[in-house]
Amino acid sequence: MVVRIVDEPTIAQMRRNENGGDVNALDWSWLDTSIQAVGRSLHVGGTTKTIREYLEKRMSVSCYIPTTPVFNTGTLMKPSVRQEKQCEQRLPSAVIAGVKKCGSGPLFKFLKIHPEIVGPPGDLKYFDGLHNLSDTKWYIDRMPYSTKKQVVLDKEVTAFQSPHHAPQYIREILTPNVKIIFILCDPVERMLSEYFDVWAQRDEQTQSGQSTKNLATRFQDSVLERTQIKNTEERNNFLDKSNYIQHVIRWLEPFSSTNLHFVDGELFKTDPGSELQKIEQFLGIKLFFETDNFYYDPDRGYSCMKYPHPFCFSTRPQHPPLDEWVEERMCEFYKPFNEGLAIMLNRRFAWMDYC
């Protein structure tokens, strides 16, 4: 699909609203600079989408004066407007609780583009087991201001597997009504991605006292021993995280299944718009994302954003391919767990067909 850049309407045109009057309910002076910074709109799938349209939508529900790039939070509105809009820093009402290396980063970033979703800029790791959980003030203080119409979203990827009681802690602090989102992907690919990441950072991790347990020079030496030995007490950092069923069980106990949503990591790579639409429904917010807001980049192996801001995550060096026998052994190991997961959740994921 061709993405054509066309000129943005003039500032004078922008200042007229549909009724021909001035748009003056709020201070619109911000728009000039924002639009000048963008200076264009996009023809996507036959329709013209302006950045202005997006910024206006966001502005109407937000406590911030939006800006470009649209990933930035923007400037906090003045106190009188904040009061009028009932802006507050609130605890999250939704959490992306994993899984690491399945696309949780892009998922979080894309979701925060939705006018009705706000979240902290990065990972707070409040539920990672190292934080004083009674210090909710610390947590709330790090949340952006939100209106009641908005969903406050946090990302806590380690919570998926540890600490063991993370689901209970999240339920207790964020109430049983909190919505939990997981993104699950091909377990072997996930493990490989994490392995190369940990390998690349091994010196820093050792220096900062973090564990590099199970890390060997070759991927297969880091994971294969476990699939041969009988001792199930022996934990392998890489293998265990990809064994989704054992972790998902922990979340089904404190939460109703209607509060848990699973994103298919494979579909998210090829068609993020459709996966994001399912999340909009799950969160009960207005539909904003469309499939043609994104395009698939075969060289990268995942999708980039077209609207409201053209954006691609930078590519990592390609992983060296796995030896066929290693892949077969890994698949053999995960197959029964994946089948169990499909039965437990009563759904199959696209990546389940790989093995």
Ligand X SMILES: Nc1ncnc2c1ncn2[C@@H]1O[C@H](COP(=O)(O)OS(=O)(=O)O)[C@@H](OP(=O)(O)O)[C@H]1O
Binding residues (CB under 6 A) for ligand X: these are 100-106, 157, 193, 268-269, 302-303, 313, 316
The encoded tokens of residue 200 equal: 């690349």
Shortest separation between residue 102's beta carbon and ligand X, angstroms: 5
Q: Are 107 and 261 in contact (CB under 8 A)?
A: no
If the CB atoms of residues 64 and 108 are measured against ligand X, the closer one turns out to be 108
Minimum CB distance to ligand X, residue 111 (Å): 12
Distance CA 185, CA 188 (A): 9
Between CA 271 and CA 293 the distance in angstroms is: 10
For residues 144 and 131, give the distance between their C-alpha atoms in angstroms, rounded to a whole number: 20
DSSP state of 63: S
Taking the least distance from each CB to ligand X, the nearer of 145 and 288 is 288
d(CA 332, CA 272): 29
Q: 6 has which bridge partners?
A: 41
Count of residues making up the chain: 355
Q: Which is nearer to ligand X, 160 or 288 (CB)?
A: 160
The least CB distance from residue 325 to ligand X, in Å, is: 22
CA distance 165 to 275: 28
- For ligand X, the closer of residues 61 and 95 by Cβ is 95
Closer residue to ligand X in complex, CB, 34/154: 154
Going by C-alpha positions, the residue among 210, 186, 212 that lies closest to residue 199 is 212
- Residues 170, 172, 177, 178, Cα dihedral to 10°: -20
Q: What is the identity of the amino acid at 280? A: E
| Minimum distance of ligand X from residue 314's CB (angstroms) | 8
Q: What share of the chain is helix, strand, coil (3-state, %, to 5)?
A: 45, 15, 40
> Which residue minimizes CB distance to ligand X?
105
- Contact status, residue 322 vs residue 219, Cβ threshold 8 Å: yes
Taking the least distance from each CB to ligand X, the nearer of 74 and 187 is 187
Minimum distance, C-beta of residue 302 to ligand X, in the bound complex (Å): 4
Q: How far is the CB of 351 from ligand X (least distance, A)?
A: 11
Q: How far is the CB of 114 from ligand X (least distance, A)?
A: 16
Nearer to ligand X, 310 or 340 (CB): 310
Separation CA 153–CA 288 (nearest Å) = 16
